[in-house]
Amino acid sequence: MSYDYLKDGTKFSAEEINDRTEAAAESVNSLDSNALAFGALRHEHLPQLIGPSGFAEGGFTKFVSNKHLPFDGNSFAQAAYEGKRYLPVNVTYPTPISFEDRDIDAFIVLFNANVRSFQEFKDGSYYALNPESNQKNEDFLSVRFTIRVDVEWDDSPFGPGSNLSLELPHTVRAVSPGFTFFGIDNAGAGTVNRKPGSSFWNDTMSFRDAAIRTIIRPKDIVQHVYGDTEDLSLISKIRVRGFGVVVEPKVIHSGPNQVMTGTAGVFVTKSNLTVIPVQAKLVSVGE
């Protein structure tokens, strides 16, 4: 900022004052990047780092979806999953979010779920796994959780407004029942081959917690929609409508001493999904 001080002999007139204040104002009104000192910007000067750009204070609020339930669920229907299903936690946006013009650079996604127990689904009913039937559930059972991204896509064959649900492979996490091995080869009468892999008791109290911590980038979405392309400008044709979670109980192996005669099921009660859109330069390590 420049200012020409009054000197002895300077005429104290309106013109002399105006010249100085206008020059000073001009220098303050026409700053360039060199005027920004190291650490010059405090939090009062800066926008919010998270959420899409363009929102007034408190204007964007959709970050979390939590499913509050008792540990065992309020009802069977609220907890039981067989096959591939959506969990009842969703972060959806009233207006789809664009990556264009750095509206958003990535999404930070965190998810947790309380897996109460692993079940066998047979003839339309769920059954607790029975160690006395040689069901080696620990070795062969798991449940997978995958983050689902709902997008709308300008080039969609179903029209630009149609929904496309992406299940991104790098977001998949799985847990097994996590039961202590029994460790007995020759149990007494009434049991059948209690061996490592059999649970100590009917698998009604697994209590496992599944956790996902991941980042979803424009590249992840573009390559899932358009295939293995490096043209990341295609992200301009995609907008994100929201996020959900897919749950899928799995039998990893089945053989002569198979795990179960039905299909895998799982009871999931409490769950937490957080999605944080972030505006920040991303650095990928190891690519």
Partner 1 sequence: MAKITPYTFTDGESGISDELFDLFSGQDGDYFTVINGDLDGDNFVALPDIDYKNIQHNAFSGGGQVAGTAHLDFFAGGVGTPKGSGFFRGANLAVEARYLPVPGASIQFYLPYEAYVLLTWTVTWTNDSDDDTETSNMCFFVDGETVGNDKNPLETAFSRRVGRTMFGGSDATINSANWASATEASLQDRYKSRTWNGHYFTPGTAPLSPGWHTASIRVCAHPAVKQTRVRARSMKYVYFKYGATK
Residues in region 44-83 near partner 1 by CB under 8 A? 44-64, 66-71
Is 87 or 222 the residue whose CB approaches partner 1 more closely? 87
Distance CA 201, CA 145 (A): 25
User: Could you tell me which of 280, 260, 16, 14 has the C-alpha nearest to residue 6?
Assistant: 16
Of 4, 10, 18, 161, which one interacts with partner 1 (CB under 8 A)?
18
Site string for partner 1, 219-258 (x = CB under 8 A): ----------------------------------------
Is 67 or 239 the residue whose CB approaches partner 1 more closely? 67
Burial 148-168 (b: 16+ CB within 10 A, else e): bbbbbbeebeeeeeeebebbb
Is 3 or 76 the residue whose CB approaches partner 1 more closely? 3
Q: 231 and 240 in contact (C-beta within 8 Å)?
A: no
Q: Considering only residues 122-151, where is the footprint of partner 1 by CB under 8 A?
A: 132
Q: How many residues bind partner 1 (CB under 8 A)?
A: 85
Distance CA 244, CA 274 (A): 10
Q: 188 and 130 in contact (C-beta within 8 Å)?
A: no
Q: Considering only residues 156-175, where is the footprint of partner 1 by CB under 8 A?
A: none
Of 92, 223, 263, 272, which one interacts with partner 1 (CB under 8 A)?
272
Amino acid at the residue 205: M
User: Could you tell me which of 69, 80, 105 has the C-alpha nearest to residue 272?
Assistant: 69
Q: 160 and 154 in contact (C-beta within 8 Å)?
A: yes
Of 2, 9, 40, 231, which one interacts with partner 1 (CB under 8 A)?
40
Q: Considering only residues 178-217, where is the footprint of partner 1 by CB under 8 A?
A: 178-191, 196, 200-201, 205, 207-209, 211, 213
Closest separation in Å from C-beta 123 to partner 1: 25
* CA triple 157-161-163, angle to 5 deg: 75
